[in-house]
Amino acid sequence: MSDGSRPSAGLRITRDEASRMVLGIETSCDDTSVAVLENGARLRSHWIASQDVHRLYGGVVPELAARAHLEWLPKLVRSALEEAGIEAHQLDAIAVTRAPGLVGSLVVGVAFAKAYGLALGVPVLGVNHIEAHLHAATLELGESPWPAIALVVSGGHTELVRVGGFGDYRWLGSTRDDAAGEAYDKVAKRLGLGFPGGPAIDALAREGRADAYDFPRPMLDRPGFDFSFSGLKTAVSVALETHGEPPYPRALLADVAASFQAAVVETLVRRAMAAVDHEHARALNLGGGVACNRELRARLAPECAARDVALRVPSPRLCADNAAMIALIGAWRLARGEAPDPELDAAAALEASGLPIG
């Protein structure tokens, strides 16, 4: 379950601040994750416990997620410290996701972090989950060239952000309804492919024809950088209805999966590259579970290469929800000498994060 240690050139931390150990905690949705990051760059340990129980319900059940975080957190913290080869008292700070996400899940992580921080006498820093996704690639690829465009595509978010450096963000666009991953999950459910749907559609699409159905490319005819994916889900349902009742033959499902994926990927690629051009960006950083998508990576690569823009995609563990990226933001804050917030609390909405959105 561990990533092991990977050095990164991403942070300029001075000699005085060397060897600082940050414990990262992530519980915003259905993955419980804990990491120990040394000196803002070296991942000493990284554990992620995925909650398979939600598969039974075809989606994340908030109450079950919160309970599972409560059960897993103490065990993962113990394992992460053990693997990192340190004792709890050697930690310099704790970084925990405080927003956005499922509030019941966030509360478990924040309450745990505050209690643990109090017991150890170390600062507890509240981290914005989306800000962490913006920078996750740094852990493996070093610091990004700036300015960069970040595309964060997950089950809960579709965000396009201009990043001028750490702490320098301008929101360009978001989804107006369903997130990209949510569209994958809903369409997969309709196709009888289970939860989460992204990996299943990604795999099945390989067998299908991407031009079998002409699904809409939502919002591309409009200016700006916003997205909309709910109409696409309806278009898939309408297409399936013309073939009668399920079960549908595998070839039909593969064609629908491939055509749906082509529509999502084309929408993401065109919007992201328009943002890159508009902002004269030098890099495109991906984050979120949908960034694992093969087709998305394959389509973005030539677009970025043609513009001499660095396409930076983290490995799947760092694309998905993980504590390493939370610890990274915490380490950055610590290095800047930011004071911990004594009023630290969990918040469901991105707007509560203090980041410049919209």
Residues that bind ligand KG4 (CB under 6 A): 29, 154-156, 181, 184-185, 196-199, 202, 288-290, 292-293, 320-321
Cα-trace Rg, the chain: 20
- Name the binder of 255 from Zn ion, ligand KG4, none, CB < 5-8 A by kind: none
- Name the binder of 196 from ligand KG4, Zn ion, none, CB < 5-8 A by kind: ligand KG4
User: Which residue type is seen at 244?
Assistant: G
- Name the binder of 181 from ligand KG4, Zn ion, none, CB < 5-8 A by kind: ligand KG4
CA 256, CA 248: separation in Å to the nearest integer? 11
The answer to the question of residue 154 lying near Zn ion (CB under 5 A) is: yes
**How big is the site for Zn ion, counted in residues (CB under 5 A)?**
2
Which residues fall within 8 angstroms of residue 227, CB to CB, at 6 or more apart?
Answer: 158, 160, 173, 174, 175, 176, 180, 218, 219, 267, 268, 271
The answer to the question of residue 255 lying near Zn ion (CB under 5 A) is: no
121: left (phi over 0), alpha (psi -120 to 50) or beta: left
If the CB atoms of residues 39 and 128 are measured against ligand KG4, the closer one turns out to be 128
The answer to the question of residue 321 lying near Zn ion (CB under 5 A) is: yes
CA 324, CA 169: separation in Å to the nearest integer? 21
The secondary structure element, H or E, covering residue 73 is helix 62-84
Q: Are strands 168-174 and 124-128 parallel, antiparallel or unpaired?
A: unpaired
Instruction: List Cα–Cα distances, 63 to 27, 30, 48, 247, in angstroms.
Output: 13, 10, 19, 32
If the CB atoms of residues 140 and 321 are measured against Zn ion, the closer one turns out to be 321
| 3-class DSSP state of 173 | strand
The token pair that represents 153 in the structure block: 């595509």
DSSP-derived letter for residue 14 is: -
User: Which residue type is seen at 81?
Assistant: L
If the CB atoms of residues 154 and 175 are measured against Zn ion, the closer one turns out to be 154
The answer to the question of residue 131 lying near Zn ion (CB under 5 A) is: no
> Taking the complex as a whole, how short is the minimal distance between the CB of residue 185 and ligand KG4, in angstroms?
5
If the CB atoms of residues 24 and 197 are measured against ligand KG4, the closer one turns out to be 197
Stretch touching Zn ion by CB under 5 A, among 60-68, 103-111, 146-154, 278-286: 146-154
> Taking the complex as a whole, how short is the minimal distance between the CB of residue 202 and ligand KG4, in angstroms?
4
If the CB atoms of residues 166 and 184 are measured against ligand KG4, the closer one turns out to be 184
The answer to the question of residue 8 lying near Zn ion (CB under 5 A) is: no
